[in-house]
Amino acid sequence: MKILKTIAQAEQYIDDIKSQSKAIGFVPTMGALHSGHISLLKRATIENDVVACSIFVNPIQFNNPDDLKNYPRTIDDDIQKLEEIECDILFYPEVKEVYPEPVFDKYNFGQLDKVLEGKFRPGHFNGVAVIVRKLFEIIQPDRAYFGMKDYQQLRIIQTMTENLELPVQIIPCPTLREKNGLAMSSRNVRLTAKERLIAPSIYRILVELKKKATALSVAEAESWALSQLNNFKELKVEYLEIVDSKTLLPVKDWKGSDGVVVCVAVHLGYVRLIDNLIIF
Ligand code: AMP
């Protein structure tokens, strides 16, 4: 695997690949790689000639300095995992390489970055958009793979790509879960043993909600799920919302939308967990 640490190195290496008309599949990550990341990379391997992964803990998408400080960093393990699956390229720059100057770029996503995560993490999606666009410019992927685990992020990236007519196909990939249903996340390593027993309840409640949803009104379904989550004193719910799967705006009744998704964010100990489930 070729490890590239500067933009100049990466651009030169990528230009060479492009000149051979090879298709590049790209998976941007913040490292601490787990099977969820690996599933995206494996799909990229099947669909492209060359696979590139980036590892960059993007400071401008963190609205909480403690979260940035405590974000797990496991680069040696990550490199080993990438070697095992025969990833071709790792782009692993330092912060000052990516942001030699402060960034003032502002994206307008309308309502899309104001709801759900956007309400609780101001500036987060602008930071995501800045880094993903920058990485797309450097890596020039034909296809880029994003997990549905971060559903709102996926919608933001799809919207940015459409609005700016970027020449990259965005491929949504299903959420990988532990056997007990907990969505895999780099942050899970910070859960205590006791919290690890509670965390799977989040997905279990989403699954139950999906089963009973359309027999109830949207408001009833939401308040049922909220009350189930609130039964666990350890879970502090930030939001649980049933929203339109395109606009992410709340739906009032089941008939108003072609697609509906339930999105949730909870605090468990020091860890903030998000998850979602497509209802239809
Ligand atoms: P991150 O390193 O958390 O920024 O994630 C990098 C990419 O992996 C994003 O597209 C995430 O949505 C995706 N991802 C993270 N966790 C999972 C998971 N459990 N299943 C599938 N994709 C995931």
Q: Is 141 helix (H, G, I), strand (E, B) or coil?
A: coil
Q: Which of 123, 146, 173 is the last residue before a domain boundary?
A: 173
Neighbouring CB atoms inside 10 A of 239's CB total 16
**pLDDT tens, residue by residue, 60-110:** 999 999 999 999 999 999 999 999 999 999 999 999 999 999 999 999 999
* Closest ligand 1 atom to 31 CA: 2
Q: Is 14 helix (H, G, I), strand (E, B) or coil?
A: helix
Q: Are 192 and 269 in contact (CB under 8 A)?
A: yes
Name the residue at shortest CA distance from atom 13 of ligand 1. 147
Q: Which residue has the tokens 């930071």?
A: 127
**pLDDT tens, residue by residue, 155-207:** 999 999 999 999 999 999 999 999 999 999 999 999 999 999 999 999 999 99
**pLDDT tens, residue by residue, 172-183:** 999 999 999 999
CA dist 260 and 263 (Å) reads 10
- Give, as one character, the DSSP assignment of residue 183: B
186 lines ligand 1 (CB under 6 A): yes
Instruction: Say how many domains are in the chain.
Output: 2
Same domain, 105 and 136: yes
276 lines ligand 1 (CB under 6 A): no
- Give, as one character, the DSSP assignment of residue 184: P
Structure tokens at 151: 């559903």
* Closest ligand 1 atom to 33 CA: 2
Q: Which of 173, 206, 232 is the last residue before a domain boundary?
A: 173
- Give, as one character, the DSSP assignment of residue 92: -
Q: Which positions are catalytic? A: 37
pTM to 2 decimal places: 0.97
CATH number of the domain enclosing 11: 3.40.50.620
CA dist 188 and 196 (Å) reads 8
Structure tokens at 3: 């490890």
Q: How far is the CA of 14 from the centre of ligand 1 (A)?
A: 24
CA dist 25 and 92 (Å) reads 16
**pLDDT tens, residue by residue, 108-146:** 999 999 999 999 999 999 999 999 999 999 999 999 999
Same domain, 9 and 112: yes
CA dist 115 and 27 (Å) reads 25
Q: Answer whether residue 258 is part of any domain.
A: yes
147 lines ligand 1 (CB under 6 A): yes
**Taking all residues of the chain, what is their mean pLDDT, rounded to a whole number?**
97
Structure tokens at 156: 């933001």
146 lines ligand 1 (CB under 6 A): yes
Q: Which residue has the tokens 């025969």?
A: 86
Per-residue pLDDT at 9 = 98
Q: How far is the CA of 147 from the centre of ligand 1 (A)?
A: 5
Q: Which residue has the tokens 């933009």?
A: 7
Q: Is 267 helix (H, G, I), strand (E, B) or coil?
A: strand
**pLDDT tens, residue by residue, 228-279:** 999 999 999 999 999 999 999 999 999 989 999 999 999 999 999 999 999 9
- Kindly report the backbone phi and psi dihedral angles of residue 112, in degrees, each rounded to the nearest multiple of 5, phi listed first: -60, -35
Same domain, 169 and 190: no
Q: Which of 173, 200, 223 is the last residue before a domain boundary?
A: 173
Rounded to an integer, the average pLDDT of 147-151 is 98
What share of the chain has pLDDT > 70, as a percent? 100
Rounded to an integer, the average pLDDT of 37-60 is 98
176 lines ligand 1 (CB under 6 A): yes
Same domain, 142 and 168: yes
Per-residue pLDDT at 203 = 98
**pLDDT tens, residue by residue, 91-102:** 999 999 999 999
CATH number of the domain enclosing 193: 3.30.1300.10
Range list of β-strands (E), the chain: 2-4, 24-29, 50-55, 89-91, 143-147, 169-173, 235-244, 260-268, 271-278
Residue 214 has pLDDT above 90, yes or no: no
Question: Could you give the angle at the alpha carbon of 63 between the alpha carbons of 3 and 165, nearest 5°?
Answer: 60
Strand 260-268, strand 271-278: pairing: antiparallel
Q: Answer whether residue 179 is part of any domain.
A: no
Sign of the CA dihedral 50, 51, 55, 60?
positive
Structure tokens at 195: 């919290």
In a mutational test of the pocket of ligand 1, which residue from 34, 125, 150, 153 has the highest number of ligand atoms less than 8 Å from its CB? 150
Q: Tell me, rounded to whole angstroms, the distance of Cα 229 from its chain centroid.
A: 23
